[in-house]
Structure 1
Amino acid sequence: MSMRVTFLGTGGAVPTTERGPSALLVNREGERLLFDCGEGTQRQMMRYGTGFTVSHLFVTHLHGDHILGIPGLIQTWDFNDREDPIAIHAPPGAKRHLRSLVNAGGYQPGYPVNIHEVRPGSVALSGDGYEVRTFETEHRNVRSMGYALVEDDRPGRFDRERAEELGVPVGPAFGRLHSGESVELDDGTVVDPEQVVGDPRPGRAVVYTGDTRPVDETVAAVDRPDLLVHDATFGDEWADRARSTGHSTGREAAEIAARAGARRLALTHISSRYAGDPGPILNEAREAFGGGEVFVPDDGQKIELPFPDERDGRGE
């Protein structure tokens, strides 16, 4: 089962010619989930070929660089004769403001736009084989929260050789055992799943913080996420600015990633001060993250996330 993450917008509050405002798209086996929707997100989706059919949009907070792409995207879907509803998930208190944004200029979409306020520390969405959880973040002058997409555990590996030794006939009985059902053989012997199926295997997890200071809630969101996408607006020389504006430095993001046991760290929301070279942010983060993989994605960069026990995928 594939999971692809596309970085649609990796810049800070002020876009540059190379980095657009915040937006991240996760394609999980054809289901597209969009996290934040900065200005121009719909064009980024077209430019980078992510596909356009999104089922859920998750908003971290109401600052413009995270939401001003919503009106255009809503209207473009309408022009393309969309009929399916779109669900927008956002922090408490956001519904009224988002509804005004959806109806900008008196516009009335021709399909349902359902806006859900979600408390931090809850489940925003229970999907097919996964859920999207929320956690509190800390940003300036606004209610903000991050999201963790967490897949269900998968069944353990099926030991075919052991099953045959126990007399299980090749065929449908194998599948029943692997799905957790006991099987009775012709001689009356009962073979239980735990005799031929290994321990459950973890699914994948992606954590997206939006704009935030380094907080314990990010660490607690998921143990050993496969990918942590964290605010890294500034380098060390602007650490005071990061504190006063409710952002993180690359080093602070890496310290959070190390505490969480993240396998990969993506540094985003890069300030326009680093338009020419985000190297200082990346280098400082690498010092703090140790041996894990850390990178500053470009707009349009895609990465495939393999399952933890099959990890060999790399960024494109």
Structure 2
Amino acid sequence: MELEFLGTNAGVPSLQRNVTSMALRMFEERRTFWLFDCGEATQHQILRSSLKLSKLEKVFITHLHGDHIFGLPGLLSSRAYQGGTTKLTVYGPPGLKQFIEVSLTLSQSRIEYELEVIEHTGGLVYEDQEIMVESLLLDHRVDSYGYRIAEKDKAGSLDLKRLAEYGLKPGPAYGQLKRGESIDLGNGQLLKPEDVLGSPKKGRIVTILGDTRPCDNVLTLARDADLLVHEATFMHDLKESAHNYHHCTSIQAAEAALKAGVKELILTHFSSRYKDLEHLQPLLEEAKTVFPNTKLAEELVLFPVLRHA
């Protein structure tokens, strides 16, 4: 599992940075990737990466401001031309479905694959056997949501040496034990999963926030996360501007990470007043005074989601 930023600017693109979008790459886990927000030119950024739209499984939109959605109609309409034939599901706030339908209808765009749009107002957004996505409302000028993506814990690895001692060879019994089922050895002995399984592998948690001012739901979504992606539109000397525009400063993002007990913080959604990475360094340094394990999002750079004990 890796995170790749396709845009890190707030409001409008610049020569150095595109507007907001990020890909959660899960090729080892699901052979797919998920997209979070889709600002203008996101599909162009994807062409510059190793990502393929044919592998895009889901899109999660945080809110309906243009710098987070203006790239969506183009991406949806051109996905089929890049080999995308599988179903694509798009999640986001009320109004998203109308935006997509009107854009595609008026442009006479044809979608050659199954497209599902699911609007939500928070809560459990998606769940399967491997992963769960929850969402909560944040504090912004329009309804803006954060997402908590939680892998489910997995059973530990089978101890092949112990299995051999019980006379078991690779086959259906291995699968039963991995599923937590006991095995009758046929001699009156019952082999329990805990007898041959290692410690469970704890699932990772990634929290990705939309635009927001500091609020309690940030802490709820980020609680004990392995990785938190938090907007940091301004340095802290502009905290009044941040409040007036319903955004956060780098210090406020770091304080949230500290309070929520997250393991790693990545800052993004930077004001265009900070021209390049050099101008962003003071923003990073002041955040690290509060939360040392902080990084700056960089476009087309892979950030692994580490598994913490």
Query: What residue in structure 1 maps to residue 76 of structure 2?
Result: 74
User: Is the counterpart of residue 37 in structure 1 residue 35 in structure 2?
Assistant: no
Query: What residue in structure 2 maps to residue 314 of structure 1?
Result: none
Query: What residue in structure 1 maps to residue 52 of structure 2?
Result: 51
Counterpart secondary structure, 1:71: helix
Once the 2 structures are TM-superposed, how far is the Cα of residue 287 of structure 1 from its aligned partner? 1.0
Alpha-carbon separation, structure 2, partners of 1:7 and 1:23: 6
Q: Is the 8 A contact 2:36 2:59 kept in 1?
A: yes
Q: 1:33 to 1:282 in 2, by over 3 A?
A: same
* Equivalent AA in structure 2 for residue 74 of structure 1: L
* Equivalent AA in structure 2 for residue 92 of structure 1: P
Once the 2 structures are TM-superposed, how far is the Cα of residue 126 of structure 1 from its aligned partner? 2.1
Once the 2 structures are TM-superposed, how far is the Cα of residue 187 of structure 1 from its aligned partner? 2.2
Taking structure 1 as the reference length, what is the TM-score of the superposition?
0.88
User: Is the counterpart of residue 125 in structure 1 residue 123 in structure 2?
Assistant: no
Q: Is the 8 A contact 1:99 1:115 kept in 2?
A: no
Once the 2 structures are TM-superposed, how far is the Cα of residue 156 of structure 1 from its aligned partner? 2.9
Alpha-carbon separation, structure 1, partners of 2:134 and 2:236: 31
Q: Is the 8 A contact 2:52 2:82 kept in 1?
A: no
Alpha-carbon separation, structure 2, partners of 1:24 and 1:56: 12
Which residue of the other structure, out of 13, 16, 35, is the alignment partner of 2:14?
Answer: 16
Counterpart secondary structure, 2:68: helix
Query: What residue in structure 1 maps to residue 2 of structure 2?
Result: 4
Query: What residue in structure 2 maps to residue 85 of structure 1?
Result: 87
Counterpart secondary structure, 2:132: strand
Alpha-carbon separation, structure 1, partners of 2:116 and 2:175: 39
Query: What residue in structure 2 maps to residue 294 of structure 1?
Result: 294
Query: What residue in structure 2 maps to residue 279 of structure 1?
Result: 281
User: Is the counterpart of residue 169 in structure 1 residue 168 in structure 2?
Assistant: yes
Q: 1:183 to 1:102 in 2, by over 3 A?
A: same
**Equivalent runs, 1:77-156 vs 2, <5 Å:** 77-80=79-82, 82-122=84-124, 124-140=125-141, 142-156=142-156
Once the 2 structures are TM-superposed, how far is the Cα of residue 63 of structure 1 from its aligned partner? 0.4
Per-residue CA distance 1:227-281 (angstroms, 9 max, x = gap): 1111111001110111111111111111111122211111000101111311121
Once the 2 structures are TM-superposed, how far is the Cα of residue 110 of structure 1 from its aligned partner? 3.6
Per-residue CA distance 1:76-113 (angstroms, 9 max, x = gap): 22444644332211113432233223334343434343
Counterpart secondary structure, 2:148: strand
Query: What residue in structure 2 maps to residue 262 of structure 1?
Result: 262
Q: 1:287 to 1:104 in 2, by over 3 A?
A: farther
Per-residue CA distance 1:27-53 (angstroms, 9 max, x = gap): 212211110000100010010222222
Per-residue CA distance 1:140-171 (angstroms, 9 max, x = gap): 1x111011221111113444565566x45354
* Equivalent AA in structure 2 for residue 51 of structure 1: K
For structure 2, the 5+ residue unaligned runs are: none
Once the 2 structures are TM-superposed, how far is the Cα of residue 305 of structure 1 from its aligned partner? 2.3
Counterpart secondary structure, 1:273: coil
* Equivalent AA in structure 1 for residue 250 of structure 2: G
Alpha-carbon separation, structure 1, partners of 2:39 and 2:78: 15
Alpha-carbon separation, structure 2, partners of 1:261 and 1:72: 38
Q: Is the 8 A contact 2:284 2:294 kept in 1?
A: yes
Q: Is the 8 A contact 2:53 2:82 kept in 1?
A: no
* Equivalent AA in structure 2 for residue 43 of structure 1: H
Q: Is the 8 A contact 2:232 2:268 kept in 1?
A: yes
**Equivalent runs, 1:111-260 vs 2, <5 Å:** 111-122=113-124, 124-140=125-141, 142-160=142-160, 167=166, 169-172=168-171, 173-260=173-260
Pairwise CA RMSD of aligned residues?
Answer: 2.1
Query: Aligned residues, how many?
Result: 302
Per-residue CA distance 1:163-207 (angstroms, 9 max, x = gap): 566x45354445532331112224211121233334533111211
Q: Which moved more, 1:102-111 or 1:19-28?
A: 102-111
Taking structure 2 as the reference length, what is the TM-score of the superposition?
0.89
Query: What residue in structure 2 maps to residue 312 of structure 1?
Result: none
